[in-house]
Amino acid sequence: MRVLILGGTAEARALAAALDGDPRVRVVSSLAGRVTNPRLPVGEVREGGFGGPEGLAAWLTGHGIDALVDATHPFARRMTASAAEAAAATGVPLLVLRRPGWREEAGDSWHWVESLPAAATLLPSLGRRVFLTTGRRSLPVFAPHPELWFLARSVDPPEPPIPAGVEVLLARGPYTVEGERALIGEHRLDVLVTKDSGGSMTTAKLVAARELGVPVVMVRRPPPPAGVRLADSVEAAVEWVHPG
């Protein structure tokens, strides 16, 4: 059977690795092609958009795909919607693999918001020196606040021009609690903004924020499309692809 994994996450790579070598399954992983030097999954990889739901539907049919796993990032809203639409149009079974979101613990001071603009609106009431970890493309949402200073961390550089009051830090997780604590101290950061991405690769900043009493603005995940089948672990996705 041929399986297409929509990827760009650690879970997508783990799923490709778990299915690799199984003679009953042929896996193709798909990446958006945005990151300059992406971490590649094992096995066959294709890159670039499909051209919306219609393009993906044509791709699924043209490549004889028997099962589709959407293992994209929980905030990759367009790709997830496109996968649901293409699966419905073609009849290809779809599983949405989403790692669980983060949970607040004792000592945390999290402020949940529905969107990036809502996070930007809330920020001035919480701090002045912002640790911004919501991705390079989110910078224009935040930068119009002249009273705030930002340390914006991203894998690839944001599009220039970089607004005044923004320092860009290029880095890729996983991060350590010690490193995050040092970063917060060195830059005197007094508020953190993050999406509820979940997973273990980037939790260190949340631990450091808890320890240092730094408030966190947490952007809530978009809900998955109605009616899709969900799995919250790679093991469950392997089981779905190949029961037993």
Residues near ligand NAP (CB under 6 A) are: 6-9, 30-32, 34, 49-52, 55-56, 72-73, 75-79, 82, 135, 195
Report the 10 Å Cβ neighbour count for 178: 10
- Counting Cα atoms < 13 Å in the Cβ hemisphere of 22 gives 19
What is the smallest separation between the CB atom of 123 and ligand NAP, expressed in angstroms?
19
What is the smallest separation between the CB atom of 186 and ligand NAP, expressed in angstroms?
25
Query: Which C-beta is closer to ligand NAP: that of 143 or that of 202?
Result: 202
Query: Which C-beta is closer to ligand NAP: that of 8 or that of 158?
Result: 8
What is the smallest separation between the CB atom of 23 and ligand NAP, expressed in angstroms?
25
Burial of 85 (0-12, 13-18, 19+ CB in 10 A): middle
Query: Which C-beta is closer to ligand NAP: that of 39 or that of 187?
Result: 39
What is the smallest separation between the CB atom of 216 and ligand NAP, expressed in angstroms?
16
- Cα gap 150→113, rounded to integer Å: 19
Beta bridge partners of 129: 149
- Cα gap 230→226, rounded to integer Å: 11
What is the smallest separation between the CB atom of 8 and ligand NAP, expressed in angstroms?
2
- Cα gap 115→31, rounded to integer Å: 25
Query: Which C-beta is closer to ligand NAP: that of 86 or that of 241?
Result: 86
Query: Which C-beta is closer to ligand NAP: that of 83 or that of 181?
Result: 83
At residue 70's C-alpha, the angle toward residues 159 and 58, to 5°, is 90
Burial of 188 (0-12, 13-18, 19+ CB in 10 A): exposed
